[in-house]
A and B are shown apart, each in its own frame.
Chain A
Amino acid sequence: MNEFDGPITDFRALLHPMNRRRLLQGASVLAGAAALGVTATAPEPAYAQDKVLNLLSWPGHADPAVVKPFEDKYGVKVVAKEYVGGEPMLALMNQSPPGSFDVVLADAEYIHMLKEGGFIDKMNPADYPLADYWPEFQKFEPHWVGEDLYSVLIRFGYLGIAYRTDVLSEADVKSYKALWDPKIKGKLGFFDWYLPTMGCLSLYDGNKPPFDISDAAFGKLKETLFSLKPQTAGFYSMADQFSMLTNGTAAAIPGVGDWVVLLLQKSGVPVSATVPDEGGIQWTESMSIVSSSTKKDLAKAFIQYMSSPEGQVRSSIMPAYWASIPNKKGWELLNKDHQAEAKALRHTFDARNVMDEYKDGKIYIRKTPVQQSIEQWNDVWSEFKSM
């Protein structure tokens, strides 16, 4: 009957310029008739075109505290669309009209999906200061497809348990067993995303690696998760974790780490984070150039800035949440300009630092489920939430 019929295999097909234009025409005729000449096609705001770099990222990455030097140098504004969780990021990439974003910041486990969806460009390793990175991150496996680079690591961190030190002691949280501790009954908060929490619990179950598990192990993981129900306080978005740990509604949150507690410690809240003996999960955030971008040079410049020592330092102490950085020269600059922060981040060269912890072999990279589908894990999470 018309071009809308037939299975839709790709959201972008819906946004074909022909359809859009036709509809906008129809809408403006209608609205024009309705509003006596006021059309529904709003004027294009002046900022819409050249002066903006559009970023799709986790919250806080376009904070002026992070991107100001870049904005000043290139005379542009960095504007972010923020998401929470990898699946919403994929949905936004799928649904947004081509050209909506120039740079996407994603977690490593989604890079391959973005590449397969044709959303991101191959990058030239020589464009970026990868040689300055810690050796472990110079050829970070999830970012490469064969010999081709698709993403540049910007920051990372470890996930274990975040807890209030006035409720639990350091000895308590040596094991994930602490999550079942009667002291925190009704005070166990959760980051409302299945992947990090279930990953940590999978480690507690003894699954190594935690995301590549058999259906039997998955069944056991489900039981482990469900047994935490009586402990539960609530399910939080990113921001709520900060508030709820601060006001004491939550005494512990599994599947999170330094990224939540460092800022709170700085404000004097009695919290800490640890990677228990069973192991922890590594999260990463890295930047790629979006294939449909019309400003790829600017996008490249932005990623160069973010991986440079200056961008790295500003990113590590970003106001939304802090993180570890992979660029050694960034570490040097951090130690020079922000000693207290470098210490809090365990980014000093003369003491045990985050790279030593990495070498301990307790840290597993976060991945999307291997033997089950994302939906299966998600459905378990939904069920758990409503128990």
Chain B
Amino acid sequence: MSMAALRRLLLLAYTGVVFAFIFAPIVSTIVFSFNADRFPSLPWGGFSLQWYEAIFADATIQRGLINSLIVAGVTCVIATFLGFSAAYVDYRYRFLGKSVYLALAALPPTVPVVILGVALLTFEGRVGLSGTLPGIIVGHVVLSTPFAMALVRMRLADLDPDIERAAWNLGASPWATMFGVIVPFCAPAILAAIFLTAAVSFDEFMIAWFVSGVNETLPVRVLAMLQGQVSPRINAIGAIVFGVSITLIVLAQMLLGRMSGRAARKKG
């Protein structure tokens, strides 16, 4: 075997190890969700669906799921709108303080969620939002807007600014240009942003942990179970959340793929 081939093989093997480390917990979550034993230990105690049955019978978990869906559903719409707006402003305008503006829009994910949670709770406690679903949504929008902004901004980078300029010069109002040109062009990115922000919200546990009060979301429920009682129900929920999240990401990925496919065709 040539040196180059050997080197490539070693690198591929190493990459395999890294991916194994990353995916081992996910695989084990799914495997142990079907384990009959209550307390996780080796060897495996036999196949069982009882933990799935248990979570489907549990009103607290159902309620958490409904709350999570409501929160993610509202969050993704608001966050995508705000992210789109910020990305468009970055694309279109130059103004004094723009870097501050962009920093404000982009910074939240760099602040630890524990701190965002404490800060939001102290603030929301003062204004009566804490313990409500809007209180959670507010925090999730803050956290997920930058992701939507990044996706839309990447898409806008492919749009020739002269097109909008030309439309304006031909007498089209900015509104008509926006909804006739910009929004249709960004549609795949907007859809991808909706899925991505929904996924961020659906999986967020720390802000929701502090803010949710009695209106627990599903990840908060999971964290409570993690503290409260060992049970493969945690694995079963994890496996289901994995399924939901991966569906959302695949959808987002397909849309982005179509988008880059089209861009490639356009350039080619």
Chain B residues engaging chain A, CB cutoff 8 angstroms: 37-41, 54, 57-60, 63, 66-67, 70-71, 74, 77-78, 81-82, 125-131, 133-134, 137-138, 213-214, 216, 224-231
Which one of A18-26, A150-158, A301-309, A370-378 contacts B?
A: A18-26
Taking a contact as CB atoms under 8 Å apart, the answer to whether B59 and A31 are in contact is: no
Taking a contact as CB atoms under 8 Å apart, the answer to whether B38 and A40 are in contact is: no
CB distance from B147 to the nearest CB of A (A): 17
Taking a contact as CB atoms under 8 Å apart, the answer to whether B138 and A14 are in contact is: no
Contact of B63 among A47, A71, A238, A264 (CB under 8 A): A47
Which one of A134-142, A197-205, A212-220, A241-249 contacts B?
A: A241-249
Which one of A75-83, A115-123, A222-230 contacts B?
A: A75-83
Residues of A within 8 A of B216 (CB): 81
Taking a contact as CB atoms under 8 Å apart, the answer to whether A79 and B131 are in contact is: no
Taking a contact as CB atoms under 8 Å apart, the answer to whether A59 and B214 are in contact is: no
Taking a contact as CB atoms under 8 Å apart, the answer to whether B66 and A45 are in contact is: yes
Taking a contact as CB atoms under 8 Å apart, the answer to whether A41 and B39 are in contact is: no
Taking a contact as CB atoms under 8 Å apart, the answer to whether A54 and B214 are in contact is: yes
Taking a contact as CB atoms under 8 Å apart, the answer to whether B229 and A320 are in contact is: yes
Taking a contact as CB atoms under 8 Å apart, the answer to whether A27 and B70 are in contact is: no
Digitize A33-52: 1 where CB-to-B-CB distance is under 8 Å, 0 elsewhere: 01110101111010100001
Taking a contact as CB atoms under 8 Å apart, the answer to whether B58 and A64 are in contact is: yes
Bound Cα distance from A46 to B29, whole angstroms:
32
CB distance from A267 to the nearest CB of B (A): 5
Bound Cα distance from A240 to B82, whole angstroms:
41
Contact of B134 among A16, A36, A40 (CB under 8 A): A40
Contact of B59 among A36, A43, A78, A243 (CB under 8 A): A78
Taking a contact as CB atoms under 8 Å apart, the answer to whether A100 and B39 are in contact is: no
Nearest 10 CB-CB pairings of A with B: A59-B228, A20-B128, A77-B59, A237-B227, A320-B229, A42-B133, A242-B230, A40-B134, A23-B127, A19-B128
Residues of B within 8 A of A4 (CB): 126
* Most interface-central of A62, A81, A269 (chain B CB within 10 A): A81
CB distance from B106 to the nearest CB of A (A): 18
Taking a contact as CB atoms under 8 Å apart, the answer to whether B39 and A243 are in contact is: yes
Bound Cα distance from A320 to B58, whole angstroms:
14
CB distance from A290 to the nearest CB of B (A): 12
Bound Cα distance from A171 to B58, whole angstroms:
43
Contact of A62 among B38, B59, B74, B227 (CB under 8 A): B59
Known pairs A19-B128, A80-B60, A100-B214; A40 contacts B228 (CB<8 A): no
Smallest Cβ-Cβ distance to B71: which chain A residue: A42
Known pairs A14-B126, A96-B213, A242-B230; A34 contacts B78 (CB<8 A): yes
* Most interface-central of A20, A40, A78, A84 (chain B CB within 10 A): A40
Known pairs A35-B77, A242-B39; A23 contacts B228 (CB<8 A): no
Bound Cα distance from A92 to B212, whole angstroms:
11
Q: Provide 30 A-B residue pairs closer than 8 Å at the C-beta atoms, listed in order of the A residue.
A: A4-B126, A11-B125, A35-B77, A35-B78, A38-B74, A40-B78, A40-B134, A42-B71, A42-B74, A45-B63, A54-B214, A60-B228, A63-B58, A79-B59, A79-B63, A80-B60, A82-B224, A84-B227, A84-B228, A96-B214, A237-B228, A238-B227, A238-B228, A242-B39, A242-B230, A246-B40, A263-B38, A264-B39, A319-B229, A321-B229
